[in-house]
Amino acid sequence: MTRQLRAALYLRLSVSKDDSTSLTVQEKDLRARAAAEGWEVLPEHVICEDGVSGAKNHTGTARALDLLRRGEVDVLLAWKFDRWSRAGIPALGRLMEVLAEVPGARFVTVKDSVDSAAPFWGVIASILATIAEQERENVRTRVRASIAERVTVGRWTGGPLPYGYMSAPNPDGSGRVLVHSPAESAIVTEAAERILNGESVYAVVRDLNDREVPTRHAVHKTGPRKGQRREWTVQALTQILTADTALGRVTHHGQLFRDDETGLPAEVWPPLFDLETFHRLANRLRVRKPISEDSRRRRRARSNRLLSGVVSCGMCGAPLYPRSNGGGTVGYACSARSNGRTCAGVSVTADLLDAYVRERFLDEIGHLEIVERMEIVADDVDLAEIERAMRQVKDAMDADDADLASLAAQLGALKAQRAEITSRPKRPTVRLVPTGETYAAAWERMSAADDVEGLRALLAPNVAILCVTKGRRGAHGLDASRVTLVTQPVHVSGVQRDEAATSGRVVVMAEGSAA
């Protein structure tokens, strides 16, 4: 008695939808063909891939070919050849290789009548494979063109929404555009203002979590914390505040979308804050390079003391880092020996040195106002304003009662300004902006928040020299003669303009003045 042949059904759909190519329709047609041929179909031999690209469906087709290779099935049955694969000749080659290895194995499609048992099937399959691959490229081209066109006309292209925005119907036509999300944009504005006013990112993140301010994805959807509230992180907030999307810019094919006329990044959506604020934030939120886990643990251990890495050894110049003596007392100790260098060894009780330096620091410069150093390319700000003004003039020209002669003159003047700015060498402007807060007030605020990193960032740039020499054995307390401390404010309010500064112009911003 002849054994009944077994068939594996392969079904694939790139995008789920209710039409003539749905998976339900495919399976119905495949089962009808198998029944007509007398082929047995077991439940475990139905391979269904929903939402899988024909260019990337190696998992499903590999499983089907494996069933054929092991002899578990005799026939591979697909709805059309382009449902089997759109990867072209390489995919056909893998199929033909398995068919050649297994005598009597067969590949059949229902809609385009491919049958490996028929004469010249390889020629027909090659043509269909090439057509399927070409159609895949055509689809890619159409999708890319559609996205590019939507970006050009200011329409939302889809995908994850950048934080601070929501999509809304396009008031000027079809599709959707991005507008500010009232709740999220308020959080972005608040975080930016607090950081620029001197708070650390960590302090802002901790406050957002304490207030249970929701993130974009309020809960974890997968993993061991599934269902739990998703908290803010320093990395997430930094990315939001320094991303180009915060300026209303769009990335297309990995590049910022630019204005055809100026070549400058285009402002596609309403920005969350202006370009100058963006540069100030970028100066404060410098992204660090990835570090190893060992390095991360060492940094965590060192970061919980005020003078970690700030104070140095008076014998060899190496930095001092916190170390416990095993009895619960933490001291700053020279790091030279742990790095293979020779040193007599310097150590000092951390609490005593912290208190001494804090008192000296606040006594000497606590009354001074903190001055923020901000480096920007002023021409970028001017160009952005000119571009905004040019768009407004062009929009005004579309009005029925527009004074075209006057508007044309305005547009010409703006273009002349733009040409003059783009032709001159770019020199960064360094602005020293008084913050209105003294070092003493900032110290008190950060101490109340237990912000050790913020305190260290406040202290370190304003200390020219801080070193400790070796003490007497058996001595108690801190011998101040061991400590050399020279404070030097990094920026002093009232500094004169330095036109010859190598990094560009230095401009002092007095309270309430304009650059």
Per-residue pLDDT tens over the stretch 203-256: 888 899 889 888 877 655 555 556 667 788 888 898 899 888 888 887 755 666
Summarize pLDDT for 328-355 with one digit per residue, the tens. Answer: 788 888 877 665 566 777 888 999 999 9
Amino acid at 121: W
Query: How far is residue 19's CA from residue 423's CA, in Å, rounded to a whole number?
Result: 57
Query: How far is residue 179's CA from residue 491's CA, in Å, rounded to a whole number?
Result: 39
The reported pLDDT for the residue numbered 50 is 73
Contact 13, 51 (CB under 8 A): yes
Q: What is the CATH number of domain 156-288?
A: 3.90.1750.20
The reported pLDDT for the residue numbered 94 is 82
Give DSSP secondary structure letters for 193-260: HHHHTT--HHHHHHHHHHTT---SS-B--SSTTTTSBPPP-HHHHHHHHHSGGGGT--EETTEE-B-T
Which parts of the chain have pLDDT scores under 70?
1-2, 14-21, 51-58, 86-89, 129, 131-159, 172-174, 218-228, 252-264, 286-303, 326-327, 337-342, 374-381, 426-430, 474, 491-515
Alpha helix ranges (H) inside 285-403: 293-302, 350-365, 378-397
The tokens for 15 are 């995008």
CA distances from 177 to 31, 58, 194 (A): 45, 36, 29
Q: What is the CATH number of domain 7-140?
A: 3.40.50.1390
The reported pLDDT for the residue numbered 173 is 65
The tokens for 308 are 């970690």
What pTM did the predictor assign? 0.38
Contact 60, 52 (CB under 8 A): yes
The reported pLDDT for the residue numbered 355 is 93
The reported pLDDT for the residue numbered 484 is 92
